[in-house]
Chain A
């Protein structure tokens, strides 16, 4: 019985731990006139359809990147790479720069009035402002 209780507690713990995920937000420069962006507007920027903002990406090792591509841009990794291969090699766009951390993204966004980037909500600080939160 004790063993069963331990197993139950462990499995519940694992489930709870599994639910503790980074909350993804898109941040813009504090000076930006834009207060809010839709998922489609954000997606358009990262897929080369809009040049209204300068998107900053995260490196592949980032745990947020998979969620961002799947839930905001609605693309799989291979689709996203194929799209940017198409745009880059046809002179229709330059791939968003990929940075190694939330801190690096915040620094880049804070330095450019047109930039946007996605980071963990917990990393938001007064140097940037949130314009989109992944539901």
Chain B
């Protein structure tokens, strides 16, 4: 039932068909130093099937009995888009597909549009729509709709072939908006052997019916991140890549049904450090988001650490994550901290497609958001 519901009215299957029959030809006309066509068409898709298992309800669980129509114990894999697994096998929470068009007007000016459809959403959404102008080999200006570069994997968190997990750790990659309409300036250079990339960005974003808030509240919630401004700096040398980011915004939230009408000052800090040797690699990222309301403050420090080993086409990967949520007034806001351990086994079919199996053990520390759950997922990821 879940499978047919998911495929109906969705173009993920169409994307797979396009990948198999048509688009590789278009992609081969990618612009580059020897390109014939100014239009490049590329895409990605991930089919993810999963369910919880061996997850009895805990006696001290005090949260909702269902989240987004899923029976708890359940597991929120995608907070932004409301992707939730329960004991029924489902394709809809995390399956997704995207098509990206790049039009190169001149060597220095190009336009990018990316449309993504998800099993958890009723219709496709525009993730990217921007113009990019390279002032010289160091400076680039981009204007339009982009992903908020809040985390190391934010820019490509939908592209399953680009990372070892089935999905990015929800402890970090899980807020009500992921994109913004605005502008960014990027500078890159090599200094003392270190490849440096830094950018500043600013803009605003509105989610008119936020799936994130639908995890908690009935009715539609409108969320607006305004006055958003931030900067990031990434340096890499040899196997080591380190990144730091800061962002701030004013967040307005309104829900008539749940009688929510508030504003908060949001501040976010983050660091990431990755070590990538030929076989071994380690990924670590820590962030802290703070929302200050008139009456109280919520802070959410989060950490994820993982290590993997490339063994031919196989990549086993273990990961530990935790989200520590704190509130200065529990009457206003009751925190929902949680922890998770996962093991992923990835098999690269070829450079552009892979199969992954992942098992997660999720601990709902406060027993108020889904309850403890074990989850098993299988994914097929490809780019074309």
Contacts and interface: CB of A to CB of B under 8 A. Distances in A.
Nearest to A53: B33
Contacts of B310: 76, 78-79
A91 B161 contact: no
Interface size range on A against B: 35 or more
A115 B128 contact: no
Interface stretch (A7-15, A18-26, A81-89, A120-128): A81-89
A31 interface: no
Given A60-B351, A74-B278, A78-B313, A96 B159 contact: no
A36 interface: no
Nearest to A80: B351
Chain A CB count within 10 A is highest, among B156, B158, B195, B350, for B156
B336 to A, nearest CB: 30
B190 A97 contact: no
B352 interface: yes
Contacts of A77: 348, 350-351
A69 to B, nearest CB: 10
B345 to A, nearest CB: 14
A56 B32 contact: yes
Contacts of A85: 44, 156, 159, 161-162, 352, 383
Interface size range on B against A: 35 or more
Nearest to B195: A49
A97 B100 contact: no
Nearest to A107: B34
A89 B102 CA distance: 10
Interface in B267-292: 276, 278
Contacts of B303: none
B142 interface: yes
Contacts of B40: 94
A96 to B, nearest CB: 6
A100 to B, nearest CB: 10
A86 B33 contact: no
A49 B236 CA distance: 10
B377 interface: no
Interface string A85-121: 1101111101111010000100110011011000000
B102 A94 contact: yes
B166 to A, nearest CB: 15
Contacts of B44: 85, 89
Contacts, number: 104
B32 A91 contact: no
B42 A44 contact: no
Given A56-B34, A78-B313, A90 B352 contact: no
B30 interface: yes
B278 A94 contact: no
A80 B156 CA distance: 15
A107 B159 CA distance: 34
Contacts of B221: none
B161 A97 contact: no
B280 to A, nearest CB: 12
B134 A51 contact: yes
A74 B142 CA distance: 31
B30 A76 contact: no
Given A78-B351, A82-B161, A114 B155 contact: no
Contacts of A95: 30, 32
Contacts of A131: none
Chain A CB count within 10 A is highest, among B31, B102, B155, for B155
A86 B34 contact: no
Contact of B146 (A91, A96, A97): A91
A52 B155 contact: no
Given A78-B310, A89-B155, A94-B102, A112 B162 contact: no
Nearest to B110: A94
Given A88-B42, A89-B383, 20 more contacts: A51-B134, A54-B33, A56-B32, A77-B350, A78-B313, A78-B348, A81-B351, A81-B352, A85-B44, A85-B156, A85-B159, A89-B100, A90-B155, A91-B128, A91-B130, A91-B146, A92-B155, A94-B30, A94-B31, A99-B34
Interface of B: 30-35, 40, 42, 44, 98, 100, 102, 104, 110, 112, 114, 128, 130, 132, 134, 137, 142, 146-147, 155-156, 158-159, 161-163, 188, 190, 195, 236, 276, 278, 310, 313, 315, 348, 350-352, 354, 383
29 contacts: A49-B190, A49-B195, A54-B32, A54-B33, A56-B32, A77-B348, A78-B313, A78-B315, A78-B351, A80-B351, A81-B383, A82-B161, A82-B163, A86-B155, A86-B159, A88-B42, A89-B100, A89-B158, A90-B155, A91-B128, A91-B155, A94-B30, A94-B32, A96-B33, A97-B30, A104-B34, A112-B33, A114-B33, A115-B33
